[in-house]
Structure 1
Amino acid sequence: MDNLLSLWHSTGLYNITGGQALMMLVGFLLLFLAIKKGFEPLLLLPIGFGAILSNIPVAGIADEGGLLYYLYFGIKTGLFPLLIFMGVGAMTDFGPLLANPKTLLLGAAAQFGIFASLLGALALNIVPGLEFTLKDAAAIAIIGGADGPTAIYVASRLSPELLGAIAVAAYSYMALVPLIQPPIMRALTTEAERRIEMQQLRTVGRSEKIVFPLLLIGLTALLLPSAAPLVGMFALGNLMNACGVVDRLSQTAQNELINIVTIFLGLSVGSKLSAEAFLQMETLGILALGAAAFAIGTAAGVLMAKLMNKFSKTLVNPLIGAAGVSAVPMAARVANKLGLESNPHNFLLMHAMGPNVAGVIGSAVAAGILLSLVQ
């Protein structure tokens, strides 16, 4: 009888708490969105499964000595974000941005969400139970750029204790781009604006594509060294792709390396969805700020495109302004999808990649500015 009682006390049914059950349901919801709805499954599937694993009672998978505990070192040290940036750089084509340089303004405008969330985080200190320092607020602010790797990197430098909540918020909102952005884009544009067809982009030469990442890292080294780790890895990945002489390295960065790191990073982020780590006032405040900042960044990009149309003879479809947030290439796909809904001949994907790539650079620059001012 004692053996049976001991066995019962070791089961998950006996030890599970309400918080663990709730967070496991959240994990299953993320899996549903990834598998059934197709919401960025490369992110949501490992994050959701990591959430389930970390909330299994008694197993201790996310506790010290567990698998997810050790994987989390890749986030804590900033290694995973930098490797992801190299892979993203290798997959990025700067052609659309170089062919239409004014889209750089759209990427810059969308970073307004970062600085809005910085002020918002400080304002939340009036809420009982919340107390964010300036470093905390700066780390939280990067969520507004919808750039998971940058958010993790900055948080690991400025506010390690909030890193888990920030990582969860950043990657959750990146994955939910197809759900969050369209209502904002439709609300801020007219049907006629969504139908605007843009001129075909000029062909960008190989030399331009090689020079650009070198120029980018050169300017970063001279003007904003604190952003050099992020921009440097991004530029390295892009140069490997653009130069055409290290195809094996470029393909590895684009495929095997980034896929492996994505699995580890997703599981690590999911490990911070454990009930004891997640169900706190600070985490809920960060999630609310992230949603608001992401909405502000999306709106700022769209409104900047509308403003540009007031002064330019060549019209820009305002939908591509929403791609200024650095969720690559999810935001560009959303802009393209909404454009096609209004006009079946309106292919905006390549046009939207210009501000999308600019957003990656913009979020890295904003991160460098915050690190320089706050660290």
Structure 2
Amino acid sequence: MRSNNASATPTHPIKPFTCSSGNLTVATTCNPPSSAMPPPIQNRNPTCPDYFRWIHEDLKPWKSTGISRQAVELANRTATFRLVILDGRAYVEAFHRSFQTRDLFTMWGVVQLLRRYPGRVPDLDLMFDCGDRPVIKLSDHMSSPPPPLFQVEVNIKPWKVLVKKIKVGNERLGWIDRIPYAYWKGNPTVAPTRGDLLRCNLSRTKDWNARLYTVDWTREIQQGFKQSNLANQCDHRFYDFFTRGLMPGHHYWPIRDDNKCRDIKFAVDWGNTHKKEAQAIGKAGSRFIQEELKMDYVYDYMFHFLREYAKLLKYKPTKPPKAKEICVESMACAAKGRERDYMMASMVNASYDLGPCDLPPPYDIWSSSRF
């Protein structure tokens, strides 16, 4: 059985850093490495949530072959940056800037992980792509594994703060009083399936029980994201949150990609005539976000993914000639405005003895066939 409690308790506060000028306006270099050994990881940790099993699935293409330096460097044609971790310190070679600050806060998240579990993240060499769309085609790699290029998108308020605001937003308006339609808000140009979704919007001739809204990110940036705050999207009964930890019929109602409009209408009609059952699904989804996606688990997922990835490397990583070290000092001291505020709000201020949670084994053939 897995405990619902967070996987770790901070026991070693980290000394606050200072910038070279004494304030957070001037960039500075990273402090020299500490000679202190990391505390031993204590046993009897709770088992990680079940969705951690997907780490094994995501790395399966390289399980039998391993990952060579050549394979990693093959991914730099489309990568945003290259991350190398050596002796618990992070180095980045940037290839190009990403949209908004996705690359910046991806790097920031890695730095916080190293502060949370100092000396425990193994040496590794990893390519990141911070775009919206997949850039590697499966058809190009039918006879050999694809280059190991990983995508991540981090472009919201600090999650620990935001998840509490989402809970407050959920409680602001009762389920029965919410607008009884399916609800979606986003950029429809990211993928064809999103553009196709707009066919299900309200028109003069058809009502599929869906209310779909296009986001103009340029205007949102200018207005400080006032209309896209996740905590304020709780006036509708139905919303989608995509993660492989969610189970259809328990956390959400599934919609077929080739029958979107009719499935959406059926789901809303069913929910409006089975309000108690629909509310139970909504509560289960919200509970999943509150309990299964705590920052403790986010960092533990990062830790286990990087550790399992590092096991596949067939070479000893080295610092690229053009790479620069990143740390809280070098990043936070150079940041300004909202970027600096988000960094300060999401900074890890203590290292952990207990943790991370214990990684569950891979899915077996029977269980993985359910997906």
Identify the TM-score tier after normalising by the shorter chain: under 0.3
How does the TM-score come out when normalised to structure 1?
0.23
Structure with larger RCO (C-alpha < 8 A, sep 6+): 2
Higher relative helix content: 1
How does the TM-score come out when normalised to structure 2?
0.23
